Structure 1
Amino acid sequence: MWLQISLLWICSALKLTVPSHTIHGIEGQPLHLSVDYNFNATASEIQIIWLFERSQSNPKYLLGSVNQRVVPDLEYQHKFTLMPPNASLRINPLHLSDEGNYIVKVNVHGNGTIAASQKIQVAVDVPVTKPTVHTEPSSGVVEYVGNITLKCTVDRGTRVVYQWMKNGKHLHAGPNYIFSSNNATLLIVPAVKEDIGNYSCLVSNPVSAMESEIIAPTIYYGPYGLRVKSDKGLNIGAVFTVDVGQVVLFDCSADSNPPNTYSWIQRDDNSTQVIKYGPHLEVVSDKVAQKTMDYMCCAFNNVTGKRDETHFTVVVTSVGLEKLAQKGKSLSSLAVITGISLFLILAMAFLFLWKRYQPHKGINVFMFSRAEADYRKAQAFSGHESALDDFGIYEFITFPDLTSGSRVSTQSVPGPDFVAGQDMLSTVYEVIQHIPEQPEQDHQHYIIVIQYEQLYTSSYCVIQYDTEMSIQEEQQCRMQYKPLCHYG
């Protein structure tokens, strides 16, 4: 960017154009200060003068020219060169001592004299070299116990700016990151596992930039996340199921620095014993003395002094994992079913013995149908307003004389389930069944139905007649057919 500066002198204008900001030069390299001028007047002579001044010192003459004839200062005649036709200055080579303010002045003489001057600031920088990072302590620290200090140094460079990087990203101050005043030193207080990473130092100045080699501080931690895995994958939580005769390899692992030392412990009811060292354990199921065996894996970090352990159980079974899980779920229902089955068996046995040795019941059952009008006439016997309310099932129990010598043999009128020569152990019911009214026909049939029960079965005896009977006649009919269906 160039700053346009206009100067007015009398009625004519002289304009100088110079860089607007500080110019940074590199030590040992040439530097070109570009200056241009123009004016609106007739000039007979043009004079250009360059001066140099350091802070708090008087300006020093470098060179001058009149109408492009250069008159250098003898002390600097090989260092500074005027670049006509404009007023630019070349410095070669550039040294640190050349840093300061350079003043250019232009005089134009014609009808009168007009003049203009401007100042240019020059800074000389030395490029930075590749930085080096040092770690203290170099042997590493224990998590939450020690602190880490990272120092960044460069051999050469001016106006160096320091910036710390972690895993390729700029690192900013935080609860456990403390920087020195110029950022050349990083302090990690205290060091934790999360501080592990790739650190580097980036140094720069206006003319160069360099980054250090990556360094990874050593932080000791752990063990964390201890767990046991099986190569068969047959595990439910902390329980591993192993088929009989199967060889299973167990692996114990935990996050730790340095790596843990591992030990395997087998636990019995009364004692524990170390059976192996190392992260792997082989279990041969047919060599296990019990159906279940408890194990423990211990991980120990000998630098941090911390340890962790995990417990697990090996179950030797001939069923797979799925059947083992189903067995656990159905164990309670199987016990309930077994109990109910035993109860039913005992109840049936008791009922059989009770039926077998109870006094024999005589059967006095009859059921017959008659016209509904006759039942209505019989309401005086039932005590109800309508004999229709008397329809139902009635139970009669008779106990024969216990002193009688023997049971009466089965009669010759068997029911459908009758077996010859078999005693009838039965519960006796008299069933009075309502027969709906039938439309008047030439012939109306009446029946007597007698139901009797053998052990676990029911049989019926049906007798049909065509003549309507009175109550007295029904009584006589009942007595007449009773022996055919009466057992006892």
Structure 2
Amino acid sequence: MEPFSSKYYHSFCNVYLFLLGTSTALNLKVPSELIHGVKGRPLIIPVEYSFNTTVCEIQITWLLNKPDSKSTLLVTAKNRSVIPDLEYQHKVSLSPLNASLLIKELHTGDEGEYTVKVTIQGKHTESQSHKIQVTVDVPVTKPLVHMEPHLGAVEYIGNLTLRCSVRNGTRISYHWLKSGVNIEAGSRYSFSLNKQMFFISPVTKEDIANYSCVVKNFVSQQESEPITPNIYYGPYDLTVNSDKGQKGEVFTVDIGEVILLFCSADSNPPNNYSWFQRFNNETVVITRGPHFEIKAENTAQRTAKYVCCAYNNITGKKDETQFTLVITASGQEKLSQKGSSLPSLAVITAMSLFVIVSMVIIFLWKRCHPHKVIKQKLYSGTQSDYVRTQTFSGHEDAMDDFGIYEFVALPGGSEPSKVSSNKTVSSSSSAQCQDTHTTIYEVISHVPDPL
């Protein structure tokens, strides 16, 4: 029986074989000679074949060759009839049209070398065969990284060992990454035979990074969570800074001002800090801690030398830096200027208040004592006004007339008639008197004489 009877297909095959200059009637193809399968999953081993002649029978045979065992017949097919081996009848199946083998569920025992053989019979009998290697692997699980010692190591003294462990997986290969970059063996880096263990000897500060282990096989790949080793180092780069933004070996501060100093260094664990002052070839402990506050005093000594010391309890190393504090006089001048400006401002303020209060008192005094104004006007008048006042008051003594008066202006026509009759008044004088107003000082209240 002819599975492929298309005239077009036969014509194409004849032309193809003619161009190749070969007389082979059967063509068997295997896409890959190595196939990796996953345990517990199905697997198809693909095979294709073709022929360029008329055939009457086609036979397909699959064999399994295991290490240290004989070949086992899995299945055979003749034309469209498939006959599996009784041992594998529920495990494999065959499609005669393309000779591909299906393994329904892979097991570890299914690993080995598979052989496919295709035979055609027409005018002539011809056969071809191929071998395919099949592996069966268990997927890897996520690995874990363990560090020894887990508390860490001291720089240039201690060593570290990182070990990668996986619960499940077959044919596992191990790879190590440092901050995402593959690690190669070097002067301080080394691995075990299968790279499951990674060694650092000795450790340095540069070894502080994220380390991870990558495990893989033919069918899977997993990466562990990163782990950062604890490495004790330092102190390094000891510096002193101030709250005024100054740093270095010299700090300036004005008299009377306060400066806050900060001592810092790169270290693990954090350093213990101590502050010393050097005076007359002696070193005196001032305080402990990373901060130190100094108040500039007005003393004859305008410079002082200090030392900040950093000590790491784990590494046993220490470092110190010396700096000089310079006290300037600009602060004292500012204080003196500020002190001299305060009295001047006080004097000006006091004088202003005195003027304002005096004006208010004068204003109120004038409002409440109008007789003083009257008295000033009386004394500033002419002698004739005084005589006239005395005449109208009826008293000869001015002290008797002391009191509060009311000014009343009368027209000239109502001039009193108490003028002496023996005196002659001229017509011109009479005319002037008619135009003149007469003032009467009437006593409103009498102020008694002082005792």
Give the whole-Å Cα distance in 2 for the aligned partners of 1:289 and 1:155.
Answer: 77
Correspondent of 1:14 among 3, 7, 26: 26
| Letter of the 1:58 counterpart | K
How far apart are residue 12 of structure 1 and its match? 5.5
Indicate which of 171, 178, 192 corresponds to 2:190.
178
CA offsets per residue over residues 159-178 of structure 1, 9 Å max, x none? 21211111111111111111
User: How big is the shift at 1:233?
Assistant: 3.1
AA at the equivalent of 2:202: P
Q: How does 1:332-347 map to 2 (within 5 A)?
A: none
Name structure 2 gaps, 5 residues minimum. Answer: 1-16, 332-451
Q: 1:197, 1:42 → 2: CA distance?
A: 70
Which consecutive unaligned segments of at least 5 residues does structure 1 have?
Answer: 321-488
What is the TM-score with the length of structure 1 in the denominator?
A: 0.61
Partner of 1:300: 311
Alignment map for 1:415-434 (pairs within 5 Å)? none
Structure 1 outlier segments of 4+, above 4 Å: none
Q: Which moved more, 1:218-227 or 1:54-63?
A: 54-63
The match for 2:296 is: 285
1:270 is displaced (CA, Å) by 5.1
* Equivalent residue number for residue 231 of structure 1: 243
Aligned-partner residue type, residue 70 of structure 2: N
Aligned to 1:318: 329
Aligned to 2:165: 153
- Residue 45 of structure 1 corresponds to 57
Show the 5 A alignment for 1:16-415. Answer: 16-234=28-246, 237-269=248-280, 271-286=282-297, 290-319=301-330
Q: Distance in 2 between matches of 1:270 and 1:34?
A: 92
Helix, strand or coil for the counterpart of 1:194?
helix
Cα-to-partner distance string for 1:176-198 (whole Å, 9 max, x where unaligned): 11112211111111111111111
| Cα deviation digits, residues 15-62 of structure 1 (max 9, x gap) | 111123311111111111111111223222211111111123221011
Question: Whole-Å Cα distance in 2 between the matches of residues 110 and 234 of structure 1?
Answer: 101
Contact 1:45 / 1:109 at 8 angstroms: preserved in 2? yes
Three-state SS of the structure 1 residue aligned to 2:86 is coil
Counterpart CA distance in 2 for 1:201 and 1:310 is 43
Q: Secondary structure at the match of 1:97?
A: helix
Distance 1:11 1:295, change over 3 A: closer
Q: Distance in 2 between matches of 1:35 and 1:96?
A: 23
Any idea what SS the aligned residue of 2:25 has? strand
CA distance in 2: counterparts of 1:110 and 1:313, whole angstroms: 108
Distance 1:282 1:113, change over 3 A: same
Sequence identity of aligned pairs in percent?
Answer: 56
How far apart, CA to CA, are the structure 1 residues paired with 2:181 and 2:91?
44
Q: 1:183 to 1:244 in 2, by over 3 A?
A: same
Partner amino acid, structure 1, of 2:61: I
**Secondary structure, counterpart of 2:280 in structure 1:** coil
Q: Deviations over 1:237-276 (max 9, x none)?
A: 5121111111111000011000001111122215332221
Aligned partners of 2:154 and 2:203 also within 8 Å: yes
Q: Which amino acid aligns with 2:92?
A: F
Partners of 1:25 and 1:42 in 2: how far apart?
A: 37
**RMSD across aligned C-alpha pairs, in angstroms?**
2.2
Displacement after TM superposition at 1:208 (Å): 1.2
CA deviation string 1:202-240 (max 9, x = no partner):
1111211111111011110111111111111346x5121
CA contact 1:12–1:41 (8 Å) conserved in 2: no
Aligned residue in 2 for 1:356: none
Q: Distance in 1 between matches of 2:298 and 2:34?
A: 86
Q: CA deviation at 1:11?
A: 6.1
Q: Which has the higher helix share?
A: 2
Cα deviations across residues 407-464 of structure 1 (Å, max 9, x unaligned)? xxxxxxxxxxxxxxxxxxxxxxxxxxxxxxxxxxxxxxxxxxxxxxxxxxxxxxxxxx
Number of the residue aligned with 2:427: none
Alpha carbons of structure 1 residues 318 and 122: separation in structure 2 relative to 1, 3 Å: same
Give the deviation of 1:312 after TM superposition.
Answer: 1.1
What is the TM-score when the length of structure 2 is the normalising length?
0.66
- Is the Cα contact below 8 Å between 1:64 and 1:70 reproduced in 2? yes
> 2-side partners of 1:40 and 1:239: how far apart?
98
Deviations 1:458-481 (A, max 9, x none): xxxxxxxxxxxxxxxxxxxxxxxx
Q: Deviations over 1:316-373 (max 9, x none)?
A: 11249xxxxxxxxxxxxxxxxxxxxxxxxxxxxxxxxxxxxxxxxxxxxxxxxxxxxx
Contact 1:19 1:120 in 2 (8 A): no
